[in-house]
Copies of this chain bind each other. A is one copy, B any other.
Amino acid sequence: MPASPIRKLVPLGDEAKARGTHVYHLNIGQPDIETPPEFFDAVCSYREKVVAYGNSQGIRLFIESLQQYYASLSIPLNYDDIVITTGGSEAILFSMMAVAEPGDELLVFEPFYTNYNGFAIMAGIRLVPIATQAEDGFHLPPAEDIEASITPRTRGIIICNPNNPTGTVLRPDELYAVRDLALKHNLYVLSDEVYREFVYEGETQSVLSIDGLQEHAVVMDSLSKRYSLCGGRMGCVISRNRRFMDVMLRFGQARLCTATLEQVGAAALVAEGAKYFTPMISEYRRRRDATFEELQNIPGMLCRKPSGAFYIMAQFPVDDIEDFAAWMLRDFSENNETTMLAPGPGFYATRGRGTNEARLAYVLNAPECRRAVALVARGIEQYNSVNRKG
């Protein structure tokens, strides 16, 4: 079981702070946006005397509010198409375990959300990585390249749309290619859609609204980003496949239920609908534009402007990104400030890939994002001149 690569730099960051250096955290997807007050209001108006076990599927109030939310996206769902989970994390772990036995395989596009690895290890499942390239904006390779990785043990294809860590939003033709492969080889499509609202150009599509995928589509969702509720651990799994959902409910029964108060609070947010994320998305667009513009100014930096989520995966003009990221915290500062990055290799299963890439999470306001990237620019300059001398 590997240590979380995103969190591996944490001690160096802590030491920098102890020296009085301000650290801009572009390394972790923790938004600075305030959690809507309706969440706290609902939690604190809970009037039961006992915080009792809830239904394993989730509390009715919350499930119905999610039905409403999905209906507003033109995705009609039955009550039993939804099981509440402890964050997107449990949604991913349970979905993987439900579709694959130990030793089975799931296809995943590299780079990918680093914790897929951890969950696969827990479940004894083999993740089979399929490369995507910075030069192509991390879009999917041709269908035949994907198909070449399918074996008799393949049970599903994992997509993350909009993508963490690349920010890429899948085009309809890519989704249809995945659909066709899933139907041809009878595979599940496990779709991580926690960044659904974070789309800055064009539109994204849920696998739940793709014709023909009724029995194959599984959505792993979370309220963490949409409502800035990361510490609330509220997510869900959605599928119209009854056999899959039966297993999901049994997993749910094994762990009894998810936190009651947090569900009550979350229900209040979902009921309020889009009023939170419409202004939030404008704010994130500004941040993306600021971050991307500053990155463009760095000689040798390669990245395409991503259309979604709140991440940019960039190719850096350095040889060893892990060394550079550590150096930024240990040896670099300008006016007592530095920037923390998430090194690329953590997002790859294939050894040797991502060694000059890093993920930047633009979860600070636009001026702070600019400053954080300007620090990266200064850092690269110094780091490379020191390195060349050495």
Chain A: residues with CB nearer than 8 A to chain B? 1-4, 7, 28, 30-35, 39-40, 43-44, 46, 49-54, 56, 86-87, 89-90, 93, 97, 101-103, 115, 117-119, 122-124, 228-233, 247, 250-251, 253-262
* Identical subunits present: 2
Complex alpha-carbon distance, A53 and B122, angstroms: 21
Pull 6 A–B residue pairs with CB atoms less than 8 Å apart, ordered by A.
A51-B229, A86-B259, A87-B255, A90-B255, A101-B124, A231-B260
Known: A44-B44, A124-B101, A256-B115. A34 touches B49 (CB 8 A): yes
The answer to whether B253 touches A233, judged by C-beta atoms less than 8 angstroms apart, is: no
The answer to whether A53 touches B30, judged by C-beta atoms less than 8 angstroms apart, is: yes
B-side contacts of A34, CB under 8 Å? 49-50
Complex alpha-carbon distance, A229 and B51, angstroms: 5
The answer to whether A253 touches B122, judged by C-beta atoms less than 8 angstroms apart, is: no
B-side contacts of A31, CB under 8 Å? 50
The answer to whether B118 touches A250, judged by C-beta atoms less than 8 angstroms apart, is: yes
Name which residue of chain B comes closest to A233, CB basis: B259
B-side contacts of A123, CB under 8 Å? 122-124
**In whole Å, how far is A197's beta carbon from the nearest beta carbon of chain B?**
18
The answer to whether A35 touches B49, judged by C-beta atoms less than 8 angstroms apart, is: yes
The answer to whether A231 touches B1, judged by C-beta atoms less than 8 angstroms apart, is: no
Known: A50-B31, A53-B28. A255 touches B43 (CB 8 A): no
Give which listed residue, B50, B231, B254, contacts A257 with CB less than 8 A.
Answer: B231
The answer to whether B7 touches A35, judged by C-beta atoms less than 8 angstroms apart, is: no
The answer to whether B259 touches A89, judged by C-beta atoms less than 8 angstroms apart, is: no
B-side contacts of A53, CB under 8 Å? 28, 30, 230-231
B-side contacts of A2, CB under 8 Å? 250
B-side contacts of A259, CB under 8 Å? 86, 231-233, 259, 262
Complex alpha-carbon distance, A51 and B1, angstroms: 28
B-side contacts of A101, CB under 8 Å? 124
The answer to whether A232 touches B261, judged by C-beta atoms less than 8 angstroms apart, is: yes
The answer to whether A255 touches B89, judged by C-beta atoms less than 8 angstroms apart, is: yes
Complex alpha-carbon distance, A256 and B28, angstroms: 11
B-side contacts of A233, CB under 8 Å? 86, 257-259
Name which residue of chain B comes closest to A234, CB basis: B259
